[in-house]
Amino acid sequence: MGKSQSINDFMEKCRIVIWNASSDEIIRTRMEPFGFDEARHEANKNLFNETTALISENETEHAEWKTASEAFNNAQDSAREAFSKIRQSLKFWFDASSAEAIALNLYNDKISKYTDFTQAASSFYTNLLTMEEVLGKLAPFGFTPESIQQLLDDISNLDILKENREKESGDAQYTVKERNSKIDQLRETVSDIIRLARLIFLDDEAQYLEKLGVMVRS
């Protein structure tokens, strides 16, 4: 499979070679003395089918990883946006020297890493839920104790989404390795068939090479 050749094109080429080597009577008969008996042809077909199944499985795993990744990224973006909005709302009421701001670490804006964010947000919401007067200041901005609790729950859920993303990433990487291993086996098998066919079918028998998908110079 060349750099410019898609997996689908590669697999179609392999299908033509393997099935025509088995089904064409002349090709099958001429290759049989070289060990290409019925059992070997069936083994080649099974290898093709196994590779096809792994390609399909990898596509499924990749789609699941993409879905899990998007779910985590969207949830994290939403959580960060809500965290920032609430902090900005509270800064309207409390300056940096106020006891409330200090208790909530309200003016610590150096939060970028994921773990720093989840720890800071979890601590912030947990403390905020114990501060009834401060919660009251958020009411005009549309926040309630219930919505703050939900935001705290969302922070806890981020780790679950992150773990799921990592799991799906691992599954996808594993199937890529399995798929590539089968593709390598399939490439070698098809190369063996074509290499032998080039030795068997010469000159006026070049049409049999064409049946195997091999381009022949006229």
CB 91 within 8 A of CB 106: yes
- The amino acid present at 57, given as its one-letter code, is E
- State pLDDT tens for residues 23-63: 999 999 999 999 999 999 999 999 999 999 999 999 999 99
- State pLDDT tens for residues 92-123: 999 999 999 999 999 988 888 999 999 999 99
CB 111 within 8 A of CB 120: yes
C-alpha closest to that of 106 among 152, 21, 186, 123: 123
The string of DSSP letters for 143-181 reads --HHHHHHHHHHHHHHHHHHHHHHHHHHHHHHHHHHHHH
Residue 2 has pLDDT above 60, yes or no: no
Domain definitions of the chain by residue range: 7-211
Average pLDDT over residues 125-145: 96
Average pLDDT over residues 165-173: 95
The pLDDT of residue 81 is 96
Q: Which pLDDT band, with edges at 50, 70 and 90, does 218 fall under?
A: low
